[in-house]
């Protein structure tokens, strides 16, 4: 099951800029709308992986990982 996120995007002069609503700090720009969306997807994947790594490190040994829905 793949999670879905909402992107807020807009044209700003010659650039496209955007943010992922649900994850603070995931924002990008691109020369085209398509480039922006590609950049946002990449930044989102990187942020999720960093957050996972941080959570596992903070938990230390013997943690349990479960899926929850919101």
Chain-wide mean pLDDT for the chain? 95
Helices marked H in 18-61 — which ranges?
33-59
Q: What is the pLDDT of residues 39-69, one digit of tens each?
A: 999 999 999 999 999 999 999 999 999 988 8
Predicted model pTM: 0.86
Q: Residue 47 in contact with residue 23, Cβ under 8 Å?
A: yes
Nearest CA to 24 among 10, 2, 8? 8
Integer-rounded Cα radius of gyration of the chain: 15
Going from N- to C-terminal start, the domains of the chain cover 7-58
């Amino acid at each position: 099951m793949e999670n879905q996120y909402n992107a807020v995007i807009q044209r700003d002069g010659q650039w496209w800029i955007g943010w992922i609503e649900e994850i603070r700090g995931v924002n990008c720009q691109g020369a085209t709308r398509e480039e922006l969306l590609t950049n946002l997807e990449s930044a989102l994947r990187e942020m999720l992986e960093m957050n996972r790594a941080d959570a596992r490190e903070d938990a230390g040994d013997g943690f349990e990982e479960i899926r929850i829905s919101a």
